[in-house]
Amino acid sequence: MADDDAMQPRGAGSAPASIHDTPERMLLREQVQRFVAREIEPRAERWEQEGSVPREVLRRLGELGWLGLMAPEAFGGADVDAVTNYVFTEALSQSTYGGFVVTVLVHTDMASPHLVHAGSDEQKRRWLPGILRGEVLTAVAVTEADAGSDVARMRTRARRDGDAFVLDGSKMFITNGVNADLYFVAARTAPLETGARGVSMFCVERGTPGLRVGQVLDKAGWRSSDTAELVFDGCRIPASQLLGVENRGFFALMENFQRERLALAAMAIGNAQSALRLALAHVRQRSAFGGVLWDRQAIRHRLASLHARTEAARSFALHCAWLSAQGRECVREVSELKALCGELANDVAYACQQFHGGMGYIRETAIERLWRDARILAIGGGATEVMLEEAAKRL
């Protein structure tokens, strides 16, 4: 196999690689990969230094129709199924800049679906077209400093006051927190003792009095993704900005968690694919001990093993996406997938960085960035241990 054929992304010009590869999905994958190669990779190092992704990039994604693949056609979406959305997400995630990827996926798969699923017609007409065009950036604000995976313990309050709700509290680790225009905020509308049954969701616009960005967080990875603390101090919003049914917000969050975790699994697989591609190219040309590193059987076998694990995880991910597209219960499968892929991304990135030697530890090299960005994939969106517990309860 020639070097430039190694680990090449599957494109529209290739034969189908699985039963899920329709011509339309193969074309979408090729288009997204071409976009990443031409419009993201040459520019994104500057975004890493600036700590955010430029708005014009998001608007360009909106022009291409990629910010609302699963949104209703009536509002400008494409209304595709979960398998097609997975294909898009995996292809986008082959960018070596995870901060760019998560900026987009929080908007498309973790925040805006709350409006699609639970929003009133008036709320959708007001915000959804701008969201799909990339003009309105979204974030979801759930996590708190002492309530991460245990969502039912959140303490941010929303108190009814006539025709308004008043929010008080804070949220932590909010991706797109600095630059979002619209936040989907989970807050308690019943006493803490009610647990999951006392949480509601709200639409809160940037610039609302009483809402401010607190600490801007300096992360080890995902450097081009802005992450922040949000502070609500007497933040008054119209009652019409309640999203869905009062005290049913926890269940809306649980419903969308499967889509979130599928997106994060796709990110992990894309990260692993990119790391393997870089490592294969490197070991085939790196001189060592009278030959190249590829001549060392231990290295070849290690890469083959990691490649097999990545392909197996990808097949499982497509199966989970298919289950979701069929409307099937798949909490156990998606929880297992998220746990599997988060750890896989770290294993692959670690080994591929190792094979790069000292150069793999130099900032601004793609393999160092992939290694650094992989770490959060076993933590964010449901830590491995939490995911395994969710799966174990359903065995």
Domain residue ranges of the chain, discontinuous segments joined by +: 3-137, 139-248, 251-392
The pLDDT value recorded for residue 364 is 83
pLDDT for 196: 82
Place of tokens 């910010």: 67
The separation between CA 354 and the C-alpha centre of its own chain, rounded to angstroms, equals 26
71 contacts: CB under 8 Å, gap ≥ 6: 77, 78, 79, 112, 116, 128, 132
User: Interhelix angle for 297-325 vs 249-285, to 10°?
Assistant: 150
For 227, 251, 258, 259, the CA distances from 320, given in Å and listed in that order, are 29, 20, 9, 10
**Separation of alpha carbons 21 and 17, rounded Å:** 6
pLDDT band at 15 (very low <50, low <70, confident <90, very high): low
User: Which listed residue (48, 260, 333, 390) is catalytic?
Assistant: 260
Residue 87 near residue 30 (C-beta atoms within 8 A) = no
For the beta carbon of residue 358, count every other beta carbon within 10 angstroms.
6
Give residue-wise pLDDT tens across range 189-199: 999 888 888 99
Closest CA to 152 of 195, 200, 201: 195
CATH superfamily of 251-392: Butyryl-CoA Dehydrogenase, subunit A, domain 3 (1.20.140.10)
CATH T-level fold of 139-248: Butyryl-CoA Dehydrogenase, subunit A; domain 2 (2.40.110)
For the question of residue 260 being annotated catalytic, the response is yes
The 10s digit of each residue's pLDDT in 37-94 is 999 999 999 999 999 999 999 999 999 999 999 999 999 999 999 999 999 999 999 9
Q: CATH homologous superfamily of domain 3-137?
A: Acyl-CoA dehydrogenase/oxidase, N-terminal domain (1.10.540.10)
Amino acid at 332: R
- With beta carbons less than 8 A apart as the criterion, state whether 170 and 185 touch: no
pLDDT of residue 89: 98
Q: Residue 74 and residue 126: Cα distance in Å, rounded?
A: 13
Angle between helices 331-355 and 384-392 in degrees, nearest 10: 150
In degrees, to the nearest 5, what angle opens at C-alpha 205 toward C-alphas 250 and 136? 100
> Is residue 8's pLDDT more than 50?
no
DSSP-assigned states of every residue in 62-124: HHTT-S-TTS-GGGT-----HHHHHHHHHHHTTSS-HHHHHHHHIIIIIIHHHHHHH--HHHH
Closest CA to 215 of 181, 178, 185: 178
Lowest mean per-residue pLDDT among 110-119, 135-144, 189-198, 277-286: 189-198
What is the rounded distance in angstroms from the CA atom of residue 122 to the CA atom of residue 378? 38
